[in-house]
Structure 1
Amino acid sequence: MAFTLSGDDVCQTTLPTPIPDPYWVAFSPSAAKLANIPLDVNSLPVDQSWLQVLGGNELSTTNHQFSNPIATVYSGHQFGVWAGQLGDGRAILLGEIDGQELQLKGAGKTRFSRMGDGRAVLRSSIREFLCSEAMHSLGIPTTRALSVVGSDLPVRREAVETAAVCARLAPSFIRIGHFEHFASLQNIERLKELADSLIEQHYPNCLQAKNPYLVLFKAISERNAKLVAQWQSIGFCHGVLNSDNISALGLTIDYGPFGFLDRFQIDHICNHSDQGGRYAYHRQPQIMHWNMACLASAMIPLVEIHSGDDSQNLLRAALEDFPVIYAQAWQDLFRKKLGLFTSQEGDIALLERLLQSMHDSKVDFTNFFRGLGSLRATTSLSQISLRDDFINREEIDKWFNDYIERLKNESSDDRQRQEMMNQINPKYILRNHLAQVAIEKAQKKDFTEISKLLNILSRPYEEQSENESYALTPPINFPSVEVSCSS
């Protein structure tokens, strides 16, 4: 069900601004199934009018009419500072298709663009497309990317680039910032309308609760606690965890200066605009908790409807559940990454020792955990090639000895353990240097690498012998890819 709030104070009917001579850059057959769009033998829509619609040039296909495209208002905290009114500055919600909201990112100016041009560039659109679909295949809750439509229209960022429109799908694009906006205006009527709509469409279990709004807060907070635990488990860094970039459904949303860890650094910063490291890898759980505090503050007037003066204490107690839920989810995920079927005393200390050693030696996060699955409980130290990645051999040898003893204590089957580990430790992730190669080819109108990456990343847990090079750590002298908020 599409965004149901109406009125000039909430959203504005906004027609996309056409782009000249649109062309397909990328298309996701998987996301197309979600929207029930029939495809031809080239895995593109049978109905060729979709190119014009997804590029922002038309509002109808043979079977779909998007008669009321809108941009919505929201507010939020950016880098910890209240930014006031924000809104869909370069995103236009076309409407609903098969239970999914269809949104165009980069389709032109809206009422909320402020000083922006409302456009997205080819570079950032390809990154969002590939990462959205990669995260879905990794099993991480996320908005989906249906397509990227390009144009030679020039767009100025740090340099002049070309325009693109990324079509995104989600059950809802409601953000924490929507709640913050109406709360900041003390518009309780709109705040209630927003919460009621969210409950009706996405959190129906809250309806039976004594205080549905308190239970709604708990549900949103729990989803986001588990989401950030999943991010940590695969080494994903979002880059800009502003409160307006946090989904009310617990989805990964707004892919900008994101990055996956290559060589593990616990304090890795993927956004070069984040000079203070507020959104560094190790701070993501803390920042998500902070964003839930922003939501709790915004929802106080709603919880008061049923709980009166006790509402702040109830929300404070609910907020304290976040680190407990996160810690449990994180521990469960990392135990599985280590191939541990049971919980035993000392597991977390064992894991923390490993992560510290990986940090000290800058060991490839993805490849280490993937390789660990091939280790057998009977393996001798001399046979463990993973030791070669560490600087302090004495320290890592002690760790491997303790780890093997832990495996023996559990008496687990080697093959069964590897199967479990290979289902949680991916072999293929969207490394920045891989995305950059695809982008540079696309800038020359060669889109084959995007399709190839999409195919590889759609099977991240499988062995793909023909694609082994895509799993390698980038060479130590490989130029780093800098991404900023403009991405």
Structure 2
Amino acid sequence: MQAISTLTFGQRFLALPPAFYRRVQPQPLSQPHLVALNASLCETLGILPATLEQPDALALLSGNRLAHDMQPLAAMYAGHQFGVYVPQLGDGRAILLGDMLDTEGRCWEWQLKGAGLTPFSRMGDGRAVLRSTIREYLCSEAMHGLGIPTTRALAMIGSPDPVYRERPETAAVLTRLAESFVRFGSFEVFYHRGQHDEIRILADFLIRHHFPACAEQAQPYAALFSEIVTRTASLIAQWQAVGFCHGVMNTDNMSVLGLTLDYGPFGFMDGFNAAHVCNHSDHSGRYAYNQQPQVGLWNLHCLASAFLPLVSEAQLLEALSGYREQYSQHWQGLMRNKLGLAVPDEGDDALIEALLLAMHAHQTDYTVFFRRLADFDSAGDNHALRDMFLDRSLFDDWAARYTARLQLETRPAAERRSAMLAVNPKYILRNYLAEQAIQAAQQGDFSQIASLHHCLQHPFDEQPQYQAYAAEPPAWAQEISVSCSS
């Protein structure tokens, strides 16, 4: 285990031509203080957590100083935002410090989010506020706890410096890590500019560092695109299975590695609503829960256009044609697991659809229902589940079908229950829990952030000390509004 001051940083992104980035320096914050520290990620990185609480580390994580071997930069990309192509975006408030190897030899890129202006900030100030930084810190780690691919959060630094959004707020900087922050829009920008050499250079970069198996294929670039399609289908299936809504699935927010990227107006559903829109800026419902799978495909079509200089149209269309089947297989497998069905049956799709229709009709709490379903008793009255439906007969009809379906299973009931508890989380980052942690933090109390983070690292465990976090949301939770500024 090392102190952060002894770490060695590289900057492999600098191997790309200058067209891909701009050199930039973080802007200092006054009076930086530690808000949250991810000790478990420190262990993965081989860093002594206590060293991140030292003044020199706080200075580095707030952007007030750099390690001697850091060469910070902001990456350029474009993207389709709400279906409209924007020709240049880029890291407007994120600065890539460099990369380092963890204890297992995996390379992590370090970003500071909220560390000041970059050439891509456009009309923004390059800063992040404490409110949105808390949300990203907690949700990225909650997703990791759920086993869903995501960027990671190492530390959060606060400052009394004012930042103006709808109202004056205080500044914060998030240190976030990923194996890569390359996005769909990283290809799009060069395609629309007619800079096809850069598309090839970026594809080669990704194959070399992240998709080495593609280099062994007869058509490496076609293999690369197919892998991105597969990872995207898998990621969105995992979102759907836990009731997660991203909120802003623009192509500049889509990772080519299949990571959950850029947490803004996200939300885990409380009461199940297939058409739920978590982003109050999304007036048309483009990124509603039930639209996410199709939006994933739409975004892949945008990326396919950018791959045309490298891959034939026929090969791209073939890869895209497999998306729906790949998504369906991933999603169906996850939903069968949630229902405790180990042996696939041709009637499973209808059984799942009937359940979701019933839950939608009654706004049944998605997370609580599936957790309770592990205790389903084929011979009992299942009152804890029945009480989640205003029309009990609707549940009873489905329960009869489910009971009959369970007769096809060969596992003992106790084994099935354990398997269901291992895939149906008891704890998710509900918006009201995040809001409570934010309100406390704005008063200088960071304890709820620490408690939530600790709980969400183990979302499938009982954790009696955090039982309150598993409760259905209070009525006032419906009044919480999150938008693109969140």
How many angstroms apart in 2 are the aligned matches of 1:203 and 1:104? Answer: 25
Q: Is the 8 A contact 1:105 1:166 kept in 2?
A: yes
Q: Deviations over 1:135-174 (max 9, x none)?
A: 0010000000011100000000011101000110001100
In the TM superposition, residue 36 of structure 1 has moved relative to its aligned partner by 2.0
Asked if the contact 2:39–2:49 (Cα under 8 Å) also holds between the matched residues in 1, the reply is: yes
Q: Once the 2 structures are TM-superposed, how far is the Cα of residue 476 of structure 1 from its aligned partner?
A: 2.8
Q: Deviation at 1:479?
A: 4.9
Structure 2 residue matching 1:253: 3-state secondary structure = coil
Q: Report the equivalent of 2:481.
A: 482
CA deviations 1:109-136 (Å, max 9, x no partner) are 0000011100000000000000011100
CA contact (8 A) 1:2 1:101 kept: no
Sort the Cα spacing of 1:458 and 1:384 in 2 relative to 1 into closer, same or farther, 3 A: same
- Cα distance in 2 for partners of 1:58, 1:21 equals 13
| Alpha-carbon offset, residue 384 of structure 1 | 3.4
Structure 1 residue 412: Cα displacement: 2.5
Measured in 1, the distance between the counterparts of 2:38 and 2:200 equals: 36
Maintained 8 Å contact 1:375/1:384: no
* 1:357 aligned partner, one-letter code: A
Residue in 1 that maps onto 2:86: 83
Asked if the contact 2:34/2:53 (under 8 Å) is kept, the reply is: no
* Structure 1 match to 2:13: 3
Conserved 8 A contact 1:376-1:414:
no
- Tell me the alpha carbon deviations over residues 420-450 of structure 1, each in whole angstroms, 9 at most, x when there is no partner: 1111100000000000010001001110110
Report the more deviating stretch, 469-478 or 104-113: 469-478
Give the SS at the match of 2:462: coil
Match runs of 1:34-53 below 5 Å:
34-40=44-50, 45=52, 48-53=55-60
Q: Look up the match of 1:366.
A: 367
Q: Report the equivalent of 2:210.
A: 202
Residue equivalent to 1:351: 352
Counterpart CA distance in 1 for 2:213 and 2:477 is 50
Shift of 1:35: 2.5
Give the RMSD, CA atoms, in angstroms.
1.2
Local SS of the residue matching 2:310: helix
SS in 2 for 1:276: coil
How many Å apart are 1:480 and its aligned residue?
2.3
Contact map agreement 2:71 2:98 (CA 8 A) in 1: yes
Name the SS of the counterpart of 1:389 in structure 2.
coil
| Cα 1:66–1:447 shift into 2, 3 Å | farther
Deviation at 1:477, TM superposition (A): 4.2
Query: Using the alignment, how far apart are the partners of 2:39 and 2:193 within structure 1?
Result: 42
The structure 1 segments of at least 4 consecutive aligned residues displaced by more than 6 Å after TM superposition are none
Matches within 5 A, 1:251-262: 251-262=259-270
Question: What residue is the counterpart of 2:108 in the other structure?
Answer: 100
Aligned positions, number: 471
SS at match of 2:479: coil
Note closer, same or farther for the CA distance 1:148–1:197 as it changes in structure 2 (3 Å cut): same
Distance in 2, Cα, partners of 1:6 & 1:194: 8
CA contact (8 A) 1:228 1:285 kept: yes
With normalisation by structure 1, the TM-score equals 0.95
Once the two structures are superposed, residues 57-91 of structure 1 have per-residue CA deviations (whole angstroms, 9 ceiling, x without a partner) of: 0102xxxx343100010001000011111000000
Task: Give distance in 2, aligned partners of 1:46 and 1:109.
Answer: 26
- State whether residues 174 and 247 of structure 1, in contact with CA within 8 Å, keep that contact through their aligned partners in structure 2: yes
Partner of 2:292: 284
Given that 1:331 and 1:348 are in contact with CA atoms closer than 8 Å, whether structure 2 keeps it comes out as: yes
Amino acid at match of 2:218: K
Residue in 2 that maps onto 1:464: 463
Code of the residue aligned with 1:472 in structure 2: it is A
> Match of 2:315?
314
Q: Which of 40, 47, 50 is residue 30 of structure 1 equivalent to?
A: 40
Distance 2:388 2:345 in 1: 27
CA deviation string 1:280-329 (max 9, x = no partner): 001000001111111111001011xxxxxxx1111111101111100000
Which of the numbers 170, 173, 179 marks the counterpart of 1:165?
173
Q: Give the aligned residue type for 1:365.
A: Y
Higher alpha-carbon deviation: 470-479 or 227-236: 470-479
Change (3 A) 1:346 1:39: same
Aligned to 2:8: none
Q: Tell me the percent identity.
A: 50
Quick check: 1:74 aligned with 2:72?
no
Unaligned stretches of 5+ residues in structure 2: 1-10, 102-106
Counterpart of 1:244 (choices 238, 252, 256) is 252
Normalised TM-score (structure 2) = 0.95
* Map of 2:341 onto structure 1: 340
For residues 149-160 of structure 1, the aligned pairs below 5 Å read 149-160=157-168
Bigger Cα displacement from structure 2, 132-141 vs 408-417? 408-417
Q: Structure 1 residue 481: deviation in Å?
A: 1.5
Q: Report if aligned partners of 1:172, 1:249 keep a CA contact under 8 Å in 2.
A: yes
Distance 2:26 2:182 in 1: 20
Gapped runs of 5+ residues in structure 1? 304-310
Structure 2 letter corresponding to 1:343: P
**2:384 and 2:449 mapped to 1: Cα distance?**
33
- 1:307 equivalent in structure 2: none
